[in-house]
C-alpha cells in the first residue's frame, strides 16, 4: 500500500480510498479551492513582447479624447 501526503493538512492517506484526490478529504479539497478563489495562490505569467509593445492604456481624465 502506497501513501500520499495531503498538501493541505499534511496527513498521510491511502490514495485508493480517497474520493477527493489529490487530497485526503473533501474538506481539504474545499480549503484548496477557497485558497485559489481568494487569490492566495497564483500562476506566474511571463509578459510577451506584444504585451510590452502595447504599454499602459491611456485614458483621458479631463474628458478630452
Q: What are 8-41's pLDDT values in tens digits? A: 999 999 999 999 999 999 999 999 999 999 999 9
Range of the domain at 27: 4-41
Q: Do the domain assignments include residue 32?
A: yes
What is the number of domains present in the chain?
Answer: 1
Q: Do the domain assignments include residue 19?
A: yes
Spell out the residues 6+ positions from residue 18 whose beta carbon is closer than 8 angstroms to its own.
24, 25
How many residues are present in the chain? Answer: 65
**Quick check: pTM over 0.75?**
no
Q: Is 50 helix (H, G, I), strand (E, B) or coil?
A: helix
Q: Give the Cβ contact number of residue 24 at 10 Å.
A: 24
Cell numbers linked to 41: 495562490
CATH code for position 19: 3.30.50.10
Q: Do the domain assignments include residue 57?
A: no
- What is the Cα–Cα distance from 13 to 41, expressed in whole angstroms? 24
Amino acid at each position: 500500500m502506497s501513501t500520499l501526503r495531503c498538501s493541505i493538512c499534511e496527513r498521510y492517506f491511502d490514495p485508493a480510498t480517497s474520493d477527493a484526490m489529490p487530497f485526503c478529504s473533501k474538506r481539504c479539497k474545499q480549503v484548496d479551492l477557497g485558497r485559489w478563489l481568494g487569490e492566495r495562490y497564483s500562476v506566474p505569467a511571463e509578459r510577451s513582447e506584444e504585451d510590452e509593445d502595447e504599454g499602459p492604456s491611456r485614458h483621458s481624465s479631463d474628458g478630452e479624447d
